[in-house]
Amino acid sequence: MVNKLDLSGEWLLCLDKECKGTDLVFDDTINLPNTTSNAKKGEYNTERETGFLTDTYKFEGFVWFRKNVDFSALQCENLKLYLERTRITELYIDGKKIGRQESLCTPHIYDLNEYIGTGIHEMTICVSNVGYKTKGGHLTSPDTQTNWNGITGRIELIGYKNAHAENVMLWCDIHSKTVRVTANITGGKSEKAVISAESFNSEKSHTPEVQSFEYTDGKLDALYKMGNDCLLWSEHEPNLYKLRIDIDGDVSEHIIGMREFNTEGGKFTINGEKTFLRGKHDGMIFPKTAFAPTDLDEWLRVMKISKSYGMNHYRYHTCCPPEAAFVAADMLGIYMEPQLPFWGTITEEGEENHNQEEQDFLVEEGFNMLKFFGNHPSYCMMSMGNELWGSKKILNDIIGGYKKFDNRHLYTQGSNNFQWFPNVIENDDFFVGVRLANDRLIRGSYAMCDAPLGHIQTDKPAANHDYDSIIRPKKQANSTEVSEDGTVQIQYGTTMKTVKASEADADFIPEVPIVTHEIGQYETYPNFKEIEKYTGSLKARNFEVFRERLDEKGLLPLAEDYFKCSGKLAVQCYKEEMEAVFRSRLLGGFQILDIQDFSGQGTALVGVLDAFMDSKGLITDSEWREFCNDAVVMARFDSYVLEAGSSFKAHTELCNYRPDLKDGKLICTLTLENGVVIGKVEKNFVAEGNYTDICDVEFTLPQVTKNTKAVLALEIEGTDIRNHYDLWVIPTVEKTDISGAYIFDEVNDEAESLLKQGKTVLIVPDLSRPDNSIEGFYCQDFWCYHMFCIISQMMKKPDPVGTMGLLIDNEHPALAGFAGEKYSTPQWWEIVQNSRSVILDDFKGKKNVIVRTIDNFDRNHDLSLLYEYEKDGGKVVVCSCNFDKLSHFPEGRAFIKSVVDYVRN
């Protein structure tokens, strides 16, 4: 029988910043579980961090917790202290050191048998958040959940009166419909275990028979039969069981799910059926508390939100979540991939900077993760770290050791390891990366320091991209060059470093599932209304600084428009990015970075949800699921911008990982914004495998007198599977008549004379003279301008452009002939790409900006590609676009005509 004594509540507190460990003065108290920061203990921090959130009670050092504990309160034969989540701990009883534990990912458990029944003793726990054997990645970073100090989750004495099971491992076999139960049995005289199970979290109920098993020498190895009616676990049916092991009345309860997560060729499978990973990056950002929760409700909340955005997979970046996260994922059907807390280089003995102590710690941490959390059905995958370099042999050996110990999961050497030099080692079950060779790119966007850039950054918006020809190329790709000394410069976190590398294999074709790494990273401007949400010890002082910078430039009234318009462009980029992976029939999945804002690394606001996992109002979850779900219907076409009277052609297809969708009817309509239906197509189809080519559609576009939005809508009748595309129909403009308009490349004497006559002149600057301007770049800024600008400069690579889309005065008469939204849409791509935005920071006098380019919050330039101002009784209109190049495109000619008509009239 097990008894527990809850030790939560008030403890004496001593903050030991100098880490002396002597002359301790316990002059304060704290309620545990908690962190010192969340409890607002210590000195108030007045710093204003701009690269991440500010911990207003940041503390690094030793923290001592003391409490008198009655060890006679539990009648038992075996006694343990259980600390669910903490940092490095040392335990003292009456001043005597009991032990030290260092796991950052798993519970700390201390044996206290010598104190059973001995009455009241003084228990002191020292927690250190300095001196880690590894840097800890996102587990200890100020960019994510902070380097907190404290104890979170359960804090309790656990007493076992009789025999009890330890190190329980549960091996579910869906083919034999059995669960192999292995455990070490401690204490007691019985040599019989009684095992039972009962289903929960399922529509159907199932209770297998109670079964008894003999064991000897304290070793239980039983094969529990689940019966022919056992329920399987998956994302679609997360059926669970509570499996109980009863030994002499001591009952331990474990959550299991009957599942087999495996691979077949280039695909993942769940219970023999192919699945596609729709993954979310997670660094355990919880701004209200600054630490990962240990309660089930909060994990259910955030994971339900992720599921509502179509996700079925979580990739933990250099961290492992607590038990409650796995339970929530079990209940919701989420495939989890925890990762060792490591971001660096794995070296061999004798190599430069070799750290065997760190390596041993990380290996042991992985075994701890498997021991404590490996029984959960949601624990499907495991990764060795993020963007690792070094010894492939050591990485392979580490995975081999884990597989020998626990083969219930799939393993990979890491996320985007060796970067430009991707490889698959013998023990890899799947590959995670961003490229297969220097120019074989498998995501849509990259930093300038990691160029070449992706198709969403370089290509005109289209709905036709996939990665199949990159995964299985017909011709050899370019290799990445290595310097004479065998090294290459790489981005490393928020900085750069030089690593040893070998030549990349240009013909590299993985035979395991390929997961594209950290796709997306499209930034939005800060929403300063979020500042008031930071009510805990973490404060968004970075937002406050960004707001002040914008105000200093006189642009603060534009802040909300900046946020909304940059966000709308980010959503467009995400849609195109996501559909590219769903069209790619040779991909195994993706891991997006991210649907949630990232609080650090310069402040990377890349989410459609804020850091609290609340919607930013840019797109609803149902709209997002149109292009991110277990079934996605898509159109494939070359351009969102169409000339009036032309023929629009598209191919329709279905990516389908929904088990019950075998056939259906596609309804495809093209409708103008005024409700006029241009055409409609209906097509019955049979869903063949996971990808179905449904049909081609073709519609003749009507003549229009102004830019007109048309919506291509796709729907699978009787289901929630639908999608839509906003197209732009451009009126036919054969050639722009510029007669009667005064056009110059600068305000010269002739222009001055016209202005004094009250005329309006159009200035179209010579873009070959780029002074005081920034190049046109349609795509949203990648991740965070500030961070990657610094890295580019360190690596002597080009700076990122850093702009964040357009804010358009779409009711201005200069755009009367070029109707559109307030934000960037594809009809502006040619215009932006063939422009340079003028920096107006030092402009004297009043001006009216018609098309504003949104600059990033670090630089905050006042930018425009179309603006006007009054001068000498006349008006100057400046359009910093290349009219010659624009004249080759329907939208370019329409834009020129609209601007020239305004100037002339």
Check which CATH number belongs to the domain holding 712 and give it: 2.60.40.1930
**Same domain for 668 and 620:** no
- The verdict on 766 and 787 lying in the same domain is yes
Q: Are residues 223 and 370 in the same domain?
A: no
pLDDT grade for 736, boundaries at 50, 70 and 90: confident
Backbone angles phi, psi at 377, to 5 degrees: -60, -25
Residues 222, 272, single domain; the answer is no
d(CA 898, CA 887): 13
Instruction: Name which residue leads in pLDDT, 241 or 737.
Output: 241
User: Tokens representing 833?
Assistant: 């790409």
Spatial strand order in the sheet of 335-337: 335-337, 313-316, 277-282, 589-593, 514-520, 431-433
Residue keyed to tokens 């676009």: 881
Q: Which residue has the tokens 């219970």?
A: 271
Evaluate whether residue 737 is within a structural domain: no
Residue where one domain finishes, among candidates 696, 730, 764: 730
Rounded CA separation 35/382 (Å): 28
d(Cα 244, Cα 456) in Å, to the nearest integer? 52
Stretch 780-798: mean pLDDT: 94
pLDDT at residue 488, rounded to an integer: 65
Q: Judge whether 256 lies within some domain.
A: no
pLDDT, mean of residues 271-276: 98
For residue 519, the cross-strand partners are 592
For residues 191 and 320, membership in a common domain is answered with no
**Do the domain assignments include residue 538?**
yes
Judge whether 253 lies within some domain: no
Both 593 and 684 in one domain: the answer is no
CATH at 152: 2.60.120.260
**If you average pLDDT over residues 373-381, what whole number do you get?**
99
Do 574 and 550 share a domain, yes or no? yes
**What CATH number is attached to the domain comprising 180?**
2.60.40
Domain boundary among 248, 276, 311: 248
Q: Based on the domain organization, do 550 and 591 belong to the same domain?
A: yes
Residue 567 belongs to a domain: yes
Q: Are residues 332 and 230 part of one domain? A: no
Element (H, E) at 652: strand 647-656
Residue 655 pLDDT more than 70?
yes
Task: Identify whether residues 179 and 62 lie together within a single domain.
Answer: no
Domain-embedded: residue 879: yes
Q: Which of 491, 524, 553, 518 is nearest to 611 (CA)?
A: 524
SS3 800: coil
Please report which confidence band the pLDDT of residue 905 belongs to, taking 50, 70 and 90 as the band edges. confident
Look up the CATH number of the domain holding residue 493: 3.20.20.80
Structural domain harbouring 713: 632-730
pLDDT at 82 over 80: yes
Domain presence at residue 735: no
Claim to verify: residue 470 and residue 590 sit in the same structural domain: yes
Query: pLDDT digit string (tens) for 276-315?
Result: 999 999 999 999 999 999 999 999 999 999 999 999 999 9
- Percent of the chain surpassing pLDDT 90: 92
Residue 251 confidence (pLDDT) above 60: yes
**pLDDT for residue 187 is more than 60:** yes
Instruction: Give yes or no for residue 844 having a pLDDT over 60.
Output: yes
Does residue 107 contact residue 85 with C-beta atoms inside 8 Å?
A: yes
Beta strands 261-264 and 250-256, pairing class = unpaired
- pLDDT band at residue 550 under the 50/70/90 scheme: very high
**Residue 653 included in any domain:** yes
Question: How many structural domains compose the chain?
Answer: 5
**To 10 degrees, the CA torsion angle through 749, 753, 759, 763?**
0
Q: What is the mean pLDDT of residues 197-211?
A: 97
Note whether 149 and 286 are same-domain residues.
no
Among the candidates 137, 160, 183, a domain finishes at: 160
